[in-house]
């Protein structure tokens, strides 16, 4: 099993550009999450999904959108990138609530 796979690993965007961060998991997990990590901080939840077709906002959803058309995939869309979105983004998955979560390797995004 590859676990949770994120692409790309690194990306530089110009202000106002858009991009999609890809996340896929092969563990047949129901729950998937997107977090961001700012320097010296823990991770904050952007969006989460409890199953295909179901998504909801986390703590810091502004400037982002998600979709969950399949169990495996949970892409994160950035529209009109801003310098405040410079961060490391982590995708995670778990079988259900209160179960162990597994994280991808992260995407380091810089907006200039």
Per CB under 8 A, residues contacting another protein are: 31, 33, 40-45, 48, 50, 56, 58, 88, 90, 92, 97-103, 105-106, 108
**Nearest to another protein of 17, 52 (CB atom):** 52
**Nearest to another protein of 56, 79 (CB atom):** 56
Q: Which of 40, 18, 47, 32 is nearest to 87 (CA)?
A: 40
Shortest reach from residue 104's CB to another protein, in Å = 8
d(CA 65, CA 103): 20
Q: Which of 100, 53, 47 is nearest to 78 (CA)?
A: 47
Shortest reach from residue 27's CB to another protein, in Å = 13
Shortest reach from residue 76's CB to another protein, in Å = 15
Shortest reach from residue 54's CB to another protein, in Å = 10
**Nearest to another protein of 18, 59 (CB atom):** 59
- With beta carbons less than 8 A apart as the criterion, state whether 106 and 3 touch: no
**Half-sphere exposure of residue 111: CA atoms within 13 angstroms, side-chain side:** 16
**Cis bond upstream, residue 19 (ω within 30):** no
């Amino acid at each position: 099993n590859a676990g949770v796979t994120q692409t790309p690993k690194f990306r530089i965007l110009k202000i106002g550009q858009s991009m999609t961060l890809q996340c896929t998991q092969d563990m047949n997990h129901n729950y998937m999450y997107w977090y961001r990590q700012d320097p010296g901080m823990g991770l904050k939840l952007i969006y989460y999904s409890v199953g295909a077709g179901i998504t909801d906002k986390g703590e810091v959803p502004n400037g982002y959108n998600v979709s969950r058309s399949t169990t495996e995939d949970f892409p994160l869309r950035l529209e009109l990138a801003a310098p405040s979105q410079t961060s490391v983004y982590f995708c995670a998955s778990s079988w259900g609530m209160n179960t162990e979560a597994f994280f991808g390797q992260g995407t380091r995004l810089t907006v200039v």
